[in-house]
Each structure stands twice: as C-alpha cells, then as structure tokens.
C-alpha cells in the first residue's frame, strides 16, 4: 500500500476508518469463509503505557505525545483519550499545494543538494515531506520525529 499525497491529499479511507470488514476462513469450514468487522490496524497503533524514562511526559518538545497510549492525528484535545481528527488533517493538507510544489521541484533547474535538503533556501523534497508530517499530525504523533513511526500512516506516506 502506498499513499500518493501529491495526487490525493486526503487521508486514505483505509487509514481513516476505525473498523474494517475482512474476509477470514470460517471456523467451522462449512461456509468456507466469513466476513467479520475488526479494529482497523491502520487507524491507530495501541502502544499501551510508555516508559517515562524513554518517553518523558515533561519534555518541552513532545512530552504531551507521551500521554497518549495510542497514536492520534490532529488530536481533538490534549486529554489522554483524545480522538484523531482526520478532517482537520485533510484541511491542513489541502492548503499545502503538494502537487504543484512537487511539480515545480521536479521540473525546475535545481541542483540535487538543494532539492534534497532543507539546508538551502527555497523548495525542497524534504521540506514538502516535513510539511506532510505536520499537516497530518498537528499536535499528534506524525509531527514529532521521535513518535512519527508509531502512526500506521507513516508507513504509507
């Protein structure tokens, strides 16, 4: 699976749905298979309690994230039971002109070291990629480097 955020900036349905219906072998084998509804493993990652030594809640940069026992995107609040707000992620993504920026980057006369790094002024692939992280995550996991890979959408982007 792959999410081409430059082509369609919206959070994919397969990630946004809390539940999914999957076909599994029947336990009785009389029908051959059955459809069941399960928690969507791409919606969130349930990590349980985190070690405060490794993920300190008092860290000024990302301490709030350590309070969640599951991943969130654009969380609805700072409460430990906040929900993801993929609509807010979609709104933030729609403001980025991802397709236009990628087109400009790939068709412009830009040296590789300028295109691939944020160390130079102007547009770069890394800057566009970083903007996707911030737009998707908001105050959630995708925005913070030490937590981004916990969010299942990380592996699709």
Domain ranges of the chain: 13-155
Which DSSP letter does residue 66 get?
A: G
- Mean pLDDT of the chain, nearest integer: 90
Reply yes or no on whether the pLDDT at 27 is more than 70: no
Reply yes or no on whether the pLDDT at 38 is more than 90: yes
pTM given for the model: 0.87
Start-to-end C-alpha separation, the chain: 9
CA dihedral 95, 119, 121, 110 (to 10 degrees): -90
Query: pLDDT per residue over 96-111, tens digit each?
Result: 999 999 999 989 888 8
| Strand, coil or helix: 138 | coil
Reply yes or no on whether the pLDDT at 48 is more than 90: no
Reply yes or no on whether the pLDDT at 60 is more than 90: no
Reply yes or no on whether the pLDDT at 67 is more than 90: no
Residue 30's pLDDT is what?
65
* Residues 55, 57, 59, 63, CA torsion sign: positive
Which residue spans within 1-123 are E strands per DSSP?
19-25, 33-39
């Amino acid at each position: 699976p792959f999410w081409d955020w430059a082509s369609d900036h919206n959070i994919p349905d397969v990630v946004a749905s809390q539940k999914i219906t999957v076909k599994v072998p029947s336990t009785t084998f009389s029908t051959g298979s059955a459809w069941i509804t399960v928690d969507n493993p791409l919606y969130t990652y349930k990590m349980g309690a985190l070690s405060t030594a490794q993920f300190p809640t008092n860290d000024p940069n990302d301490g709030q994230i350590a309070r969640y026992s599951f991943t969130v995107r654009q969380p609805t609040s700072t409460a430990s039971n906040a929900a993801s707000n993929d609509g807010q992620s979609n709104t933030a993504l729609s403001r980025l002109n991802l397709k236009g920026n990628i087109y400009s980057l790939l068709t412009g006369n830009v040296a590789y070291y300028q295109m691939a790094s944020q160390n130079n002024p102007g547009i770069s692939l890394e800057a566009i990629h970083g903007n996707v992280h911030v737009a998707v995550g908001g105050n959630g996991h995708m925005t913070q480097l030490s937590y981004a890979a916990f969010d299942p959408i990380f592996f699709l982007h």
